[in-house]
Amino acid sequence: MDSIVVTGGGTLSGQIPIAGAKNACLTLMPATLLSEEPLTLMNAPRLSDIRTMSQLLQSLGAEVAALQDGKVLALSSHAEINTRAEYDIVRKMRASNLVLGPLLAREGHAVVSLPGGCAIGARPMDIHTDGLAQMGAEIDLKDGYLHAKAQGGRLKGAVIDFPFASVGATENLAMAATLAKGTTVLKNAAREPEIVDLVRCLRAMGAQIEGEGTSEITIQGVDRLGGATHTVVTDRIELGTYMLAPAICGGEVELLGGRIDLLAAFCEKLDAAGVTVTETPSGLSVTRGAGDVRAVDVTTAPFPGFPTDLQAQMMALLCTATGTSVLEEKIFENRFMHAPELIRMGADIEVHGGTATVKGVDRLKGAPVMATDLRASVSLILAGLAAEGETKVARVYHLDRGYEHVVRKLSQVGARIERISDT
C-alpha cells in the first residue's frame, strides 16, 4: 500500500492545470446508455473512479475507449444492453447508481445493486426510487438489488418535488426523463455546475431540457437521442483544493482553467481569511501575502454555498490561522474524521456533533497520519506542506479516486512531496 511523504516549509510558485470534474464525468458517462450513437467526452480526469465507471458500463454492453492518455473518453452503446449492474462493480463507487435512470429509460427495466463509496454517512437511494416510481416504475429491493420495471415498458413524465436538493437524484431522473413519454418537471432540483454540465451534454444529444442551474428543471421527453462531443467542466473541488496550497504555504500559484463562478462562496471565505484570488486570462491566481491567515467561520451548504467537499481542506488552512474558527458540517454526518489526524500534527480542534472549533496554532508538526476518506487524505497533505518536518500520509488509495497526479502537480510548484510504496 502506498503512502505520501510531505516535507513542510517553503512557499509555492508556478502553475497547476485543473482536470475535468470527476463528479461531472461520472454523471456524463452513463448518458451513453441513452443513445445508440457515440458520446465523446473531452477533458476527462484520469482517476480510478472513472476506470470503475468504464468497467461498469462495459459490463452493461457499452464500448468505452480511453484516448489521448485518458483525457478523451469515447463511449458507445449501440450493441445489445445488459440491464443488470452487478454488486462486485457497483459496491466500489456510489456514482454507480446513475445507471439506473438511463437503463430504465432505454430498456424499460433494470436490476442495479445498491452502491458503495466513501464512508461519510448515510446516503439512501429512496429519493431516486421514489422519483422513478412517480414516473411509473415499479421498484422492489431484493437481496441488495433494486429490481425496477417501467409499467407498459416506458417511463412517463411526472412532476417530482424532491424533499431536498439531491445532486444524484436530480442527475438520475433528468437522464431518465429525456426518453420518458410526456413532460417531467423536477422541483427543488440541485443547482450544481456538474448538473448544468450534464444538461448541456444531454441537450447536445437532442434532449429537450431547460432550467438547469435553477431549482426547477423541465424535460420534454423525446423518442431517441443522438451522439455528441462534450467537454467536461473544470473540477471545482480539485480547483479549491489547489487554491488552498499557496494559501497554506504562502507564495503565488495560478490554477489553469479555474473560474470564480464555480466557487464563489469559497472564494469569499478565502478573501475574508486574507488570501487574494484574482481572475487571469488562463484561470485564477491565488496569493497569500506576508501576514497570517485570519480565522473565518464556515458552514457547508448545497451549491452555491460552501462545498462540503472542501471542508476538510479548509480546516487544514484554519489550523494555523490567527484566532478561532467554527466549521459547521450541514451536508454529511461523520465528516470530521480528519480532525483526530490533524490533532496528531499539533492542531487544536474540538468536535461536537456537526461542529468543529479550530483554534489557530503557530505551527503544525509533521507526523505519521492516516487518510480516512478522499477529501481527508488531501487535507492531510495540505497540512503537511505547512508543517515543520516530515508528514507521512498512509492509505492514500482514497486519493486516487479523486485527484490525478497529486505529487506531480504539487511538485511542479515547489512542494517537497513524494509517493512511496510501503510493500
The torsion angles phi and psi of 100, rounded to 5 degrees, stand at: -65, -50
Residue 40 cell numbers, joined: 465523446
Long-range residue pairs from 67-74, CB within 8 A, at least 24 positions apart, any chain: 70/44, 70/46, 71/42, 71/43, 71/44, 71/46, 72/40, 72/41, 72/42, 72/44, 73/25, 73/29, 73/40, 73/41, 73/44, 74/38, 74/39, 74/40
Q: Which of 118, 201, 249, 319 does the annotation list as catalytic?
A: 118
Contact 383, 345 (CB under 8 A): yes
Cα–Cα dist 191/200, whole Å: 13
Beta bridge partners of 407: none
201 has catalytic annotation: no
Tally of CA atoms within 13 A in the half-sphere of 121 that contains its CB: 13
Cα–Cα dist 34/224, whole Å: 8
CB within 8 A of 140, min separation 6: which ones?
A: 146, 147
Query: Other C-beta atoms within 10 Å of 285: how many?
Result: 18
Residue 186 cell numbers, joined: 423536477
- Where in the sequence numbering do the catalytic residues fall? 118
